[in-house]
Structure 1
Amino acid sequence: MQTHLAAALGSVVLTAGTLLGAPAAGAQTSAYPVTSVPPIEVGNTWTKGTITWYNRSVAVTGTHKSVSAAGPAYCRRTWVYTYDAAGAQLGSGGSYAADTACGTTKNYSSFTVPADVPGGAALVRVCLDDGNLKDLLCQPFRRP
């Protein structure tokens, strides 16, 4: 009798422990916020894409366009800067050299820019650059 009672009690404790450790029904991890970047235009050239806001970085994906292949000053890349809530720059990074658009429209591979502070970047500045990485025009975007 004691064996059956001990087994039943052990089963109840194990079941209760499992249920208490489980997440609430319907609980989901929240998705990271995403911001659409409308075209940042200089003449007939532009960059556009999306920013995904992570806890200690941002990821940027998109497309940029160049209308001339006459040299690096006419090519286009995308560069991004991250800032904390006080306006201090946290990091910078940009599209890969292989993704440079020269006389064409080109998708650029997703790249990550560090923002290593609690909560991540409060502000991101997205820039259309020439092929020499000179910022031509930048626009700020606040974390949603």
Structure 2
Amino acid sequence: MRARLAAVVGTVLLGAGMLVNVPAAHAADPVSEFDVTVGNTYTRGTITWHNRSVTVAGEQKSVSSSSCRGTTAFTLDASNKQLGLNYTSRTCGASETFTPFTMPADVSGGAAVVRICLDDGALPATYYSCKRYGRPSS
């Protein structure tokens, strides 16, 4: 009876995890905070380091409706080879939470570095400032 209940609960939880396109964080998945600020504008949030991907979640701020901001993130291996890239939607004249996104880092050990840039929200983006965040030690 308990084994069957555990199987049902596991199936329900697995199914619920598949509804969201972001890997579930495990207790062993380290989390880093990021903050890239330029003047009164910024992008800030968290990087969750999975085995072969990273999830970036956060908020970006633009102070003027005519001067938008966005966030660009790159995953890099230990040799600085780019593994993945993602852009957020742009924010104009507001402070908004962006939809969390997962980027590939399909190498042994996952991404060594995530580079986060505050940009102008356009494609191709103009980067105002970028910072590198190394994978935390386990």
Q: Normalised by the size of structure 2, how large is the TM-score?
A: 0.75
Question: Out of 111, 114, 121, which is 2:111 matched to?
Answer: 121
Amino acid at match of 1:65: K
Give, in whole Å, the separation in 1 of the partners of 2:98 and 2:128.
Answer: 18
Q: Distance in 2 between matches of 1:36 and 1:69?
A: 27
Query: Aligned residue for 2:33?
Result: 36
> Where does structure 1 lack aligned partners over 5 or more consecutive residues?
1-28
User: Which runs of structure 2 are paired with 1:1-144 in the superposition (5 Å)?
Assistant: 30-37=27-34, 39-70=35-66, 74-95=67-88, 97=89, 100-132=90-122, 133-144=125-136
1:131 offset after TM fit, Å? 1.8
Q: How far apart are residue 91 of structure 1 and its match?
A: 1.1
Tell me the percent identity: 50
Unaligned runs of 5+ in 2: 1-25
Query: Secondary structure at the residue paired with 1:60?
Result: strand
1:103-138 deviation digits (Å, cap 9, x = unpaired): 000000101111111111001101101121222110
What SS class does the counterpart of residue 130 from structure 2 fall into?
A: strand
SS at 1:58's partner residue? strand
**Paired AA for residue 104 in structure 2:** P
Cα-to-partner distance string for 1:64-92 (whole Å, 9 max, x where unaligned): 1001111xxx1011110111111111111
Structure number, greater radius of gyration: 1
Asked if structure 1 preserves the Cα contact closer than 8 Å seen for 2:114 and 2:134, the reply is yes
Letter in 2 for 1:143: R
The structure in which a higher percent of residues are helix is 1
Distance in 2 between residues matched to 1:30 and 1:75, nearest whole Å:
36
Aligned residues: 109
Moved over 3 A (4+): none
Q: Which amino acid aligns with 1:131?
A: G
Asked if 1 retains the 8 angstrom alpha-carbon contact of 2:61 and 2:94, the reply is yes
Distance of 2:49 and 2:37 partners within structure 1 = 23
Scaled by the length of structure 1, what TM-score is found? 0.72
